[in-house]
Amino acid sequence: MTLAVAALNVVAPVAILSAVRKPFDFYTFNPWLKRLPEYFASDDAPLVEKLAKLPDLALFWVSAGSTYGGAEWGFAVDVTDVGRILLVSALFGLYFALWRRYRDLALGAARALHRGGLAGAAATASRRSPSSSCLFSPSVTSGAVHALQEKMAENDCPELEARHDRIA
């Protein structure tokens, strides 16, 4: 994914310009790049000055010639562009990796919940302790006294007995 984003950042502008304006007819890598280590090792200029010029160093370019001389359009990639392309590609890759991980975790949890179906839900409900089933008792109204008495007969639940004593 990250390589696709990096390639798209380089190929898309050239493809769009070639389709809309004029197809490219020239591309090259900077022939001076072979001499870059030699340049940094020389004493021609201070190292700080050499490093200050490095971000503007064009690595390669693509262009289409004009019928009147010169270039119809040109597209160049320098060191700063490579840094930007790598950063954007890494952010896209990280975003989609995190999104995929989140999706896998969410789908895994959903699959785990759906795996048991009604039988799993019934098994979970039957495993509740008597004290936890008291939490799901019916609300106490004048018509629910009979239901409370049945619930007390099924489970040993002090909370229900206290509610029954308050109602009666």
Q: What is the mean pLDDT of the chain?
A: 78
Q: pLDDT at residue 137 above 60?
A: no
Share of the chain above pLDDT 70, in %: 64
- Of 85, 100, 115, the position where a domain reaches its end is 100
pTM surpassing 0.75?
no
Does the residue 113 lie in any domain? no
DSSP run (H or E) holding 37 = helix 36-41
- Provide the domain limits for residue 144: 128-167
**Residues 6 and 71 both lie in one domain:** yes
Quick: pLDDT tens for 43-84: 989 999 999 999 999 999 999 998 888 899 999 999 999 999
**Residues 27 and 79 both lie in one domain:** yes
Assign 95 a pLDDT band (cuts: 50, 70, 90).
very high
| Neighbouring C-alpha atoms within 13 Å toward the C-beta of 139 | 1
Q: How many domains does the chain have?
A: 2
